[in-house]
Chain A
């Protein structure tokens, strides 16, 4: 059960991080460079959290 919970969280976080990257492009298009860099780092942080969830799901699977 915990494995599926972690897997779902991993998919949501990794998929959700794409939203931040798309938003980063929008910021760049509006020439808001500081905002774009902040949003990009938010995306990277969310991906790293998702990666950790995926690792925990794998540990549960084993």
Chain B
């Protein structure tokens, strides 16, 4: 029979704690996004609707059991959309007022942050001996501090921007009035299209202009290092580059064109 040491027992306790946190946050999200709206709107009476409502819980259980980041961070949030897609009445704006929207948003962001932190959190076994590294005594390099600031900013932006976009589409009085005026009879459908468009727009912006730039900012990226070296060499030239002469010629030419236009 295998005897667990104190380190293994501690590790097991932390893993159980992480599982419990992920399960509690996920269940909270399921209640806020599926169960309560389903009961309020009365769409959970049929058998298939009840089956789709239970599906996210099954996915959550599998994710916790397998301790899979992919299932917990992608599979479960995606599964939450299945019952909503099956009975769109659950996502009706009348069910989701601003306060309910805020509660669900906080629950979703809390679940994603909690699941990503706690599932990756593993307490290492206590060391047999300790010897501090010389680098540990030095202050953290500025490039790492800068990188951590960028990570924090990206995390904040990935939560704040989509929420503001969705809030504006669904609850801003002026926008709602405009949609009602221009698309009367198709308000719900057009709002859904706008919501999907806002999320798609934000994902594209985020992937292309924020994460995309960061991906190229890796140390040792050969293309990037070559470009930087070329830039460094060109910036050392003590003479104006062709852009300077082009800028002067363009400015003078356009000013002349403007004067001729005004003189006519």
Query: Measured between alpha carbons, how far is A62 from B250 in the docked complex, in Å?
Result: 30
Q: How far is the CB of A30 from chain B (nearest CB, A)?
A: 12
With contact pairs A45-B247, A49-B247 given, residues A38 and B254 touching in the complex (Cβ less than 8 Å): yes
**B248 CB-CB contact with A under 8 Å:** yes
**B257 CB-CB contact with A under 8 Å:** yes
Interface of B is mostly: helix
**B258 CB-CB contact with A under 8 Å:** yes
With contact pairs A34-B261, A35-B258, A38-B258 given, residues A45 and B251 touching in the complex (Cβ less than 8 Å): yes
Residue numbers in B under 8 Å from A59 (CB-CB): 235-238
**B209 CB-CB contact with A under 8 Å:** no
**A14 CB-CB contact with B under 8 Å:** no
Query: Measured between alpha carbons, how far is A62 from B241 in the docked complex, in Å?
Result: 18
Query: Measured between alpha carbons, how far is A14 from B248 in the docked complex, in Å?
Result: 13
Per-residue CB proximity of A27-48 to B under 8 Å, as 1/0?
A: 0000000110011011001101
Per-residue CB proximity of B153-185 to A under 8 Å, as 1/0?
A: 000000000000000000000000000000000
Query: Measured between alpha carbons, how far is A8 from B153 in the docked complex, in Å?
Result: 35
**B187 CB-CB contact with A under 8 Å:** no
**B244 CB-CB contact with A under 8 Å:** yes
Residue numbers in B under 8 Å from A39 (CB-CB): 254, 258
**A55 CB-CB contact with B under 8 Å:** yes
Contact yes or no, A52 B238, CB < 8 A: no
Contact yes or no, A52 B247, CB < 8 A: yes
Instruction: Give the residue name and chain of the A residue nearest to B236 (CB).
Output: A59
Residue numbers in B under 8 Å from A45 (CB-CB): 246-248, 250-251, 254
Chain A: residues with CB nearer than 8 A to chain B? Answer: 34-35, 38-39, 41-42, 45-46, 48-49, 52, 55-56, 58-60, 62
28 A–B contacts, CB within 8 A, in A order: A34-B261, A35-B261, A38-B257, A38-B258, A39-B258, A41-B254, A42-B250, A42-B254, A42-B255, A42-B258, A45-B246, A45-B247, A45-B248, A45-B254, A48-B243, A49-B247, A49-B248, A52-B240, A52-B241, A52-B244, A55-B235, A56-B238, A59-B235, A59-B236, A59-B237, A59-B238, A60-B238, A62-B236
New A-B contacts (11) at CB < 8 Å, excluding given A45-B247, A52-B240, A59-B237 = A35-B258, A35-B262, A39-B258, A42-B254, A42-B258, A45-B248, A46-B251, A48-B247, A52-B247, A59-B235, A62-B236
Which 8 residue pairs of A and B lie closest in terms of their CB atoms, listed nearest first? A45-B251, A48-B247, A52-B244, A49-B247, A45-B250, A45-B247, A42-B254, A59-B238
